[in-house]
Amino acid sequence: TSSYDLDIIEYLFENGLITRDTKVICNGFKYERYLAKIFELRAKGQDIQPILESETELEAFLSRTDLHFEVGMRLNLDDNLLKGKFNFDRLSSSIDSRFGFFFDDLQRCSKRIFASPNLVFKTLHFHLGGMIDDLDIYQELITFIYKNNYCVLKKNIQTLGYFDVGGGLPAQYSVDFNFN
């Protein structure tokens, strides 16, 4: 999720703990140093898959026609997409909502990826947040996104092969919050 993580990847390779074939997924905002490190390691042959968060990031990868990437795109799960369809509270939604592409923008930008000589769209990524404590709601959300986003994209994008559910494990944000 940062350029410093890629410094660790480089260290692991140099010390024989991973190979260039080890897939590295790059989430998070791609600031200048992070982009530079992704490009540097890809030029050295590291298998890197960036998950694009914005059109600015897409532009950076489109401009590097000398480097080939399998890329993912992050779907923005703002409250407009999910509220009204599901009854849940997502404590981290104000943070999560700034990430990724709205679905219409994602579809438009995926066409640019398809037309590019150096990018292949492989992964649809999204982040539900770790604070949904109702398993039934969690499963309904994933099913909804799969049917209404991934399957819609997959009909037109044959290279799309991965449906990546981000979010990690629940985290205790206060001493008053308990979960099992």
Confidence band, pLDDT 50/70/90 cuts, at residue 152? very high
Residue 150: closest CA among 88, 78, 74, 90: 74
pTM, entire model: 0.84
| Alpha carbon distance 64, 112 (integer Å) | 14
Check if the beta carbon of residue 20 is closer than 8 Å to that of residue 46. yes
pLDDT at position 36, please? 97
Percent of the chain with pLDDT strictly greater than 70: 78
